Chains A and B, each alone.
Chain A
Amino acid sequence: MNYIRITNHQTIPVSDIPELDYKSFFELNTGFIIDHPERHCVNYFGYHEDNHIKLICCIADDETHEIYVSSCCTAIQSKLQAFTSKLLCFEKFEREIHENFGLDFIDHPWLKPVRYAFNRADKTKTIANYPFFKIEGEELHEVGVGPIHAGVIEPGHFRFICNGEQILHLEIQLGYQHRGIESLFLKKKSILERATLAENIAGDTVVGHTSAFSYLWESLCGYQASRDMHFSRILALEMERMAIHTGDLSAVCTDIAYQLGSSVYGRLRTPLINFMQEWGGNRLSKGLIRPGRDQFPFTSGLAERIKNIFDAFEPDFNEISDELLKLPSVLSRLERTGVVTPADVQEIGAVGMTARMAGINRDIRTSHPYSLYPELNHEPILKHHGDVYSRVLIRRQEVNQSMAYVRDLLNQLPEQTTTNTELGKPKANSFTLSMIEGWRGEICHCAITNEKGDLVLYKIKDPSFHNWLALALSVRNNEISDFPICNKSFNLSYSGHDL
């Protein structure tokens, strides 16, 4: 076999990943995805190995619950046929490899910088001379928004080409938030430093990224998390999903100037994040999750608190949601706005909520189950229209679903068995891949260690990495004044993309 099948959170020796020549690597990986809608690329990256660049491609298969990993060695400065020439979903990954290592991809339609990494190959490419797409025309005009925005949000530049009020094309230029997280992971040696780094990949997905890191690290060290650790992580993940979805519903209401929804959802989010503060001392759940530790044991007192909070939350949440989703002025803003067709979503390999809103069943909780999710019998919520309304509806229903899961979990509180031991050194020469379904979608962390058990590569992929393109596609032929609600309905992360 010219690839290896692994499961989620599994550690294998690096030498077990078959190494192919580029031609068969190309055919294998494009062949995996063409005509297989259940497969998509979860990570494709390169790293320096001796005087070569090693490319590793990970394709997830949702039906067999496996991940197909293959690799290829290529010389620096080589010219390669781009995967993108056949499949658009590799577009971002190849741009990133091109930016970091200077590999030239032939027939890549859009070989532009991704995030201006500090250690990029071509230092003459800077954020100031980004090659924007241009359309010439008397009746067209360009509108540039950002990188500094009117609200308190992260920096990113949006360049619209408009015909009057209608958007023809949107190009999103990111990279203002680059902090070099992946190289910091190699530099910072202590586990606390690394866990803190993982927490700060994206400020709104603290639990998602920290759990991905924790599962990965435990797998690398050959440690089995106990039930109470699983319990804390899943509970925190679902609470995070609820809190962020509720906050986003409030933000959507603000953007369509529906004041009632905006203030009610805003008020509903507060008890959820305040509970996280009660539990772990931080409203964004920072410090809650650590590899090999159950930092803040979940007590029956806390369980009682959650039940009370939910009893107050649920009726109000359902009432305002029913009100919102039947108000004609709201529906006229949400329906048929910002449509991405299922075909486009499939083609760009979007993940998480963005895939599910167009009827594509892509949810790591069922496709690559981990932790306690098999017990919860998770059924992904699917919508089919791909418009803002679908995304709002998914949020609304996922909040209810997560609430049911949390209540389920609380029915059988685990015993405290974790002893908080120090994890040893990671296994030498190993490769691990860890995927978590955060509230935005699949988070994928990969790590490779050398013969001493030190990290030589830490690769992070936030769902925003794929999904930004979905936003750019969704606004085409929409009014420019509808861009803010399209943007809010996706609510993608700048820092998660820029790393």
Chain B
Amino acid sequence: MLSFILILIAGAFFTGIIIRTKSVASGRKGPGILQPINDVVRLFKKGAVYSGTTSFIFQMAPTIYFSSVVMAMMLIPFGQSKGLISFNGDFVFFAYVLALGKFFSIISAMDTGSSFEGMGASRESLYSLLAEPAFFILMGSFALLTGYTSFQEMFAALHLGSYISYAIAILATFVLVMIAMIENSRMPIDDPKTHLELTMIHEVMILDNSGFDLGLILSAGYLKFALYGAIIVNLFIGMVPYPYAIPLFFVIQFLLAIIIGLIESFIARFRMSHNPQFIFALTSVSLLIFFGVLLVLGKFI
């Protein structure tokens, strides 16, 4: 329960902090931190417009997408407190409930029959497909290391002690940050600010969504960021007591948002054909973690 509330709060600020960081980095004042939330509230007050060529899939996809993210949020623990739902193997459920949401957003983009949205859908599915092994090898390594298969038990049992475990934690943070960037369609994979349909990935898939539906998709995006942030936080807080853990949660989320803002300010986006290479390289980093775990457990001969 605690983690659910914390993620909600962090999600409200996360995107605003990224936008503010980018504005400051380019010498502008920038909008208020809560502007993204104001946008969503405005959208929630509106009705949606549907194109005549779309079917019921297009209308229900935003809701499924949003609920998949909320469902995934419920699985995230916070230190010693479990998530709302917790069972053995819940990290597999986590990955696939998000994938379900993504699947629906992909078929709803195809449903519009627009050539732009079809391109966006094919790019998005390729990139999530390539990112999947990285996530599973990472989580699988943790399961192997701790001997547990649910988020809460895994994170509770993680102990940073030896040098190798520090290395593992740093690599894992890197992989999770990058997966968060891919899943949220941020730079350097995708450019959320562009107005050019031909270079978009995620943005082009939601071109036809409007009003309430768009509000759902945007707020799901904000929550998704905080969701991955929360997993990273969990790597570090372990059994730290709440009075320290809760501020630490926000500090880490805040730093993550600033890092993303800075990355987006000072580099250009990747060439589209370099993206698969980059994403696939994450899998090899995950494999490094896996070998690190084997070393820790002494299973390497």
Contacts and interface: CB of A to CB of B under 8 A. Distances in A.
A312 interface: no
Nearest to A328: B267
B199 A143 contact: no
Contacts of A151: 195-196
A267 B27 contact: yes
A374 interface: no
Interface string A132-149: 000000000111110000
Contact of B265 (A143, A259, A332, A333): A259
Interface stretch (A67-75, A348-356, A475-483): A475-483
Interface in B185-213: 187-188, 191, 193-199
Contacts of B191: 257
A258 interface: yes
A382 to B, nearest CB: 26
A150 B207 CA distance: 11
A85 interface: no
Given A142-B115, A165-B272, A257 B266 contact: no
Interface size class of chain A, counting residues whose CB lies under 8 Å from the partner chain: 20 to 34
Contact of B271 (A263, A267, A479): A479
Given A165-B273, A484-B199, A143 B116 contact: yes
A256 interface: yes
B132 to A, nearest CB: 21
A165 B120 CA distance: 11
Nearest to A484: B196
A138 to B, nearest CB: 15
A357 B273 CA distance: 25
A259 B25 contact: yes
Contact of B274 (A332, A337, A483, A484): A332
A348 B196 CA distance: 28
Given A150-B197, A151-B195, A484-B199, A144 B115 contact: yes
A257 B198 contact: no
A337 B273 CA distance: 12
Contacts of A482: 199, 271-272
A263 B272 CA distance: 23
A330 interface: yes
Given A257-B191, A260-B26, A267-B27, A484 B266 contact: no
B198 A480 contact: yes
Interface in A36-61: none
B196 to A, nearest CB: 4
Interface string A155-168: 00000000001000
A150 B270 contact: no
A344 interface: no
A142 B194 CA distance: 22
B224 interface: no
Given A141-B115, A480-B119, A481-B198, A329 B273 contact: no
A479 B271 CA distance: 9
Interface string A115-146: 00000000000000000000000000111110
A410 B43 CA distance: 55
Interface in B235-258: none
Nearest to A166: B273
A150 B196 contact: yes
Contacts of A263: 26-28
A484 B198 contact: yes
Contacts of A1: none
A255 B194 contact: yes
Interface in B12-31: 22, 25-28
A326 to B, nearest CB: 12
B274 to A, nearest CB: 7
B272 A479 contact: yes
B268 A258 contact: yes
B151 to A, nearest CB: 34
A327 interface: yes
B269 interface: yes
Contacts of B28: 263
Contact of B199 (A332, A337, A481): A481
B198 A327 contact: no
A67 B188 CA distance: 51
A330 B273 CA distance: 14
Nearest to B192: A257
A256 B271 CA distance: 9
Contact of B188 (A329, A337, A481): A329
Given A142-B115, A150-B196, A329-B188, A259 B274 contact: no
A301 to B, nearest CB: 30
B267 A327 contact: yes
Nearest to B118: A141
A259 B264 contact: yes
B272 A257 contact: no
Contacts of B264: 257, 259
Interface string B208-244: 0000000000000000000000000000000000000
B198 A483 contact: yes
Contacts of A259: 22, 25-26, 193, 264-266
Interface in B166-193: 187-188, 191, 193
Given A143-B115, A145-B198, A257 B26 contact: no
A415 to B, nearest CB: 42
B125 to A, nearest CB: 13
B193 A257 contact: yes
A256 B272 contact: no
B119 to A, nearest CB: 7
B119 A256 contact: no
Contacts of A481: 198-199, 271-272
Nearest to B201: A481
A479 B273 contact: yes
B271 to A, nearest CB: 6
Nearest to B191: A257
Contact of B269 (A141, A260, A333): A333
A262 B268 CA distance: 11
Nearest to A164: B122
Interface string B264-300: 1111111111100000000000000000000000000
B190 to A, nearest CB: 9
B191 to A, nearest CB: 4
A481 to B, nearest CB: 4
Nearest to A266: B26
A312 B170 CA distance: 44
21 contacts: A141-B115, A142-B115, A143-B116, A165-B272, A165-B273, A255-B196, A257-B269, A259-B25, A259-B26, A259-B193, A264-B26, A329-B188, A330-B267, A332-B268, A332-B270, A333-B268, A333-B269, A337-B271, A481-B199, A482-B272, A484-B198
Given A257-B264, A329-B268, 5 more contacts: A259-B266, A260-B265, A329-B267, A481-B199, A482-B272
Q: Which 6 A-B pairs rank lowest in CB-CB distance, beginning with the nearest?
A: A257-B191, A263-B26, A257-B269, A258-B268, A481-B272, A256-B268
Interface of B: 22, 25-28, 115-116, 118-119, 187-188, 191, 193-199, 264-274
Interface of A: 141-145, 150-151, 165, 253-260, 262-264, 267, 327, 329-330, 332-333, 337, 479-484
